[in-house]
Amino acid sequence: MTSKNLIIIIGNGFDLAHGLKTSFSDFADYLIENLIVPELDKVVVRRQSINSLFQPEFTKELSRKSMTSYETNHLEIIWSTLMDYRPNELIQYLKKEPQVIAEFINNKFLGKLYANRYINWFDIENAYFQELVITKNRILGGGSTKKNIEGLEVLNREFTEVKDLLSKYLKTIEITKSQEIQDFFDSYLRRAANAYIINFNFTNTIEDYFKRDDYPLNIETNYIHGSLMENNIVFGYGNDKDSDYEDIKNLEIDEFLMYFKTFEYQRNSNYNQIHDHAIKLFTKFEILVLGHSLGTTDKTLLAELFNSTGCNKVHIFKRRDLENNPNNAFKGFIKLTYSASRIFANEETLRKKLSNYEQSAFFP
């Protein structure tokens, strides 16, 4: 590291490195355990024929007073496990067969997420964007604008519901600190004069590492996607250079733009501060990428950082948990390199700025 100015990008992998259950699959399992199965119990055991979490026809059939021959096997499994007071068995079944949830949950977007067995958050944001693209293509193909706008309104309500459930879930997670990660920061920050942290997470895991007096540098943290403490999380799609985005914007239908990060960033000054307090302020700087997948859902902002004339180097890291498995360590590293290639302006810039495998250290 040659620059005295650091920009540190924090992504969900940073929380996962602490053993925190913050992946989408963790969230999906949490909903099964704490929302879906308890609500199913109300329908089956308590005969609740109306439940807003589930499709009306499903609750009507499931709440009938006697067991009959159900058309689908999963209905029989749900009914029998709950009537026999075996909810844990149902929880394990739905975790193993999550696509079943899409058949009865009212939130169709959430149902599709379960059906596709997604793991990462950028997959969820991409899935939302693809729903917008499908709707855009319907309209351009001559479909009813009114009907498709109504569909967009439903999609946005469902996406909002997922966002709210996520916020509630993350607040249940207890933050931990790692001495190994503290040592990692020490090795970099003791050589720096300024550190600007861009936290893409909603959690404040990063904060505990800088509550000390022996760092001879200025440190500022920017919760670019909001924080749980402020209840202002930003969740959506962030690649406004995509050709589909241009088509969407040109339709002049505002419902399409509700969850594009470009407009979410206009809610506060966090985005502007990245330019004013880091990109413009630092003549030269280096970037540390810790736990961010470099997915295109954040491409617009990442491109402004990576392609800035002030950016000398972008450091990506090998995973410490794969240190004894060189093949998988390299596969993970090269996958991150592929993602970075979609952010850099061109391959020449990538080769000059991005750390290579031999140069890169292991991150705990």
Distance of alpha carbon 104 from alpha carbon 302, whole angstroms: 38
Here the tokens at position 314 are 């972008």
DSSP secondary structure letter of residue 175: P
Residue 69 has pLDDT above 60, yes or no: no
Instruction: Give the least confident one: 145-149, 217-221, 282-286.
Output: 217-221
Distance of alpha carbon 146 from alpha carbon 115, whole angstroms: 28
Residue 241 has pLDDT above 70, yes or no: yes
Distance of alpha carbon 7 from alpha carbon 28, whole angstroms: 32
Residue 239 has pLDDT above 90, yes or no: no
Answer for the pair 29, 42: CB distance below 8 angstroms, yes or no: no
DSSP code per residue over 136-202: HHHHHTT--HHHHHHHHHHHHHHHHHHHHHHHHHHTTPPP---HHHHHHHHHHHTT-SEEEEEE-SS
DSSP secondary structure letter of residue 255: G
Average pLDDT, the chain: 91
Looking at residue 46, what is its pLDDT? 86
Average pLDDT rounded to a whole number, residues 72-76: 78
- Whole-angstrom CA distances from 54 to 81, 105, 309 are 18, 4, 52
Looking at residue 214, what is its pLDDT? 66
Contacts of 82 (CB under 8 A, 6+ apart): 40, 41, 44, 45, 90
Entry pTM:
0.90
pLDDT tens, 270-326? Answer: 999 999 999 999 999 999 999 999 988 899 999 999 999 999 999 999 998 888 888
pLDDT tens, 81-127? Answer: 998 899 999 999 999 999 999 999 999 999 999 999 888 888 888 89
